[in-house]
Amino acid sequence: MARLPSIVLILADNLGWGELGCYGGGALRGAPTPRIDRLASEGLRLLNFNVESDCVPTRSALMTGRHPIRTGAMQSVPAGLPQGIHPWEITLAQLLSAQGYATAIYGKWHLGDREGRYPKDRGFDEWYGIPRTTNESMFTSSAGYDPEVVPLPHIMEGRKGEPARNVKVYDLEARRQIDAELTTRTKEFMRRQAKAGKPFFAYVPITQLHYPTIPHPDFAGKTGAGDFADALAEMDYRVGEILDEINALDIAADTIVIFASDNGPEFRRPWRGTAGPWTGTYHTAMEGGLRAPFMIRWPERVPASRVSNEIVHVADLYTTLARVAGAPLPGDRPIDGVDQLDFFLGAQEKSNRQGFVYYIKNELRAVKWRNWKMHLIWEPEPNSGPNHLEAPYLFNLLQDPKEETDVHTSASWARTPMRRMIHEFEQSLKAHPPIPPDAPDEYVPKG
């Protein structure tokens, strides 16, 4: 049997399309990103990698291969209530574990914050990180915060088959330190598995550049361009540390490295990010919310220095990595991710995906198809008030990347395949009703 490759999947948090040097940012944002830029040059860099509206739904799509409207993981809910992905879902970690992979997550989970729904219950052998989100690190320094009303946020640790435990309070000081800790633990995990000769899946959902976007003390003031740039420089350094460890272990040839972001850029000031040429941020259906950085390196398998504007969706990673591991997909539920391995390997120039439907929570907002985009609801900035359109807006994204000129009167033909996509997806939801967001663990989906 051929050796299964190890997989390192680094997922940045709210890293906009325009932040990295290889996407036109870097020095223009006050922080060159040489390590990530080099990684991009060593494999395939996508210009049209698409995610969901914000942290929870994107991570759900990654872990289940299904749009979050199906899984019920459409948004974050208050701590202690059922949130994240339902235990009925089969995660990417479960698929890989069943194929003999050692699995670990170091970072932000955001797909369940109680026993039965922690990462160590969902296919990961070990976990260190936060169950929910980074802005909770601001709780303890907020005026009037009452831990008897809202529990203290913690960095947690867990192992398969054991209860998870609180390690320390996640306050602003811990927030500055956490990505360094995640990197150290990732390196140690890779060393253990390399020594054992076992393939591994290291999922590393780091916390930068989510607000509060503040750097490790070693990087404070490093760029001279403020906290945001310092945090970007730190992120580049942490990725470089992981890549250096892979090289030191002499496993680069047998290791797939993926670096991506879960969302469009942070929109909260003073930590406002950038999507480069695209309009909008996360929490919108604008291209700035949908498109995120993505690169994949697999030496001698994925051709180097390749750049593509073909459409890929985050759900595709589930299906693609399952094929890499020889793992069968679940056959009792719709899987929205499509297999992109041949495209990634350069065996074909075109993606296996022509488009996708885009929901925010339970509301269909937009559809992408080839180089076209149709908005059914218009909200270019978060909280600007969604406008339900009587006649959908239609944009040609090659001619109009900022989505400024509606061409539905002159190019209405392009709405036909998108309307067909909507109909087919809605029929699928009828045949396989979505899991309610508040479904208890014992709930069994119908259809």
CB neighbours (10 Å) of residue 314?
A: 27
DSSP code, position 292: E
Based on the residue annotation, tell me whether 55 is a catalytic residue of this protein: yes
The residue annotated as part of the active site, out of 67, 86, 110, 216, is 110
Cα gap 132→84, rounded to integer Å: 10
On whether the CB atoms of residues 44 and 308 are closer than 8 A, the answer is yes
Cα–Cα distance, 189 to 105 (Å, whole number): 10
The answer to whether residues 203 and 5 touch, using CB atoms and an 8 Å cutoff, is no
Beta strands in 298-415 (DSSP E): 306-308, 312-313, 355-360, 363-369, 372-378, 387-396
Cβ contacts of residue 5 below 8 Å, gap of 6+?
199, 254, 255, 256, 298, 324
Counting Cα atoms < 13 Å in the Cβ hemisphere of 239 gives 29
- Clarify whether 22 is annotated catalytic: no
Alpha helices in 227-297 (DSSP H): 227-248, 287-290
Q: How far apart are CA 262 and CA 111, in angstroms?
A: 13
Q: How many CB atoms lie within 10 A of CB 99?
A: 15
Out of 55, 86, 154, 216, which one is annotated catalytic? 55
User: 260: which strand partners?
Assistant: 11, 294
Nearest to 106 by CA among 185, 216, 7: 185
End-to-end CA separation in angstroms for the chain: 37
Q: Which residues are catalytic?
A: 55, 110
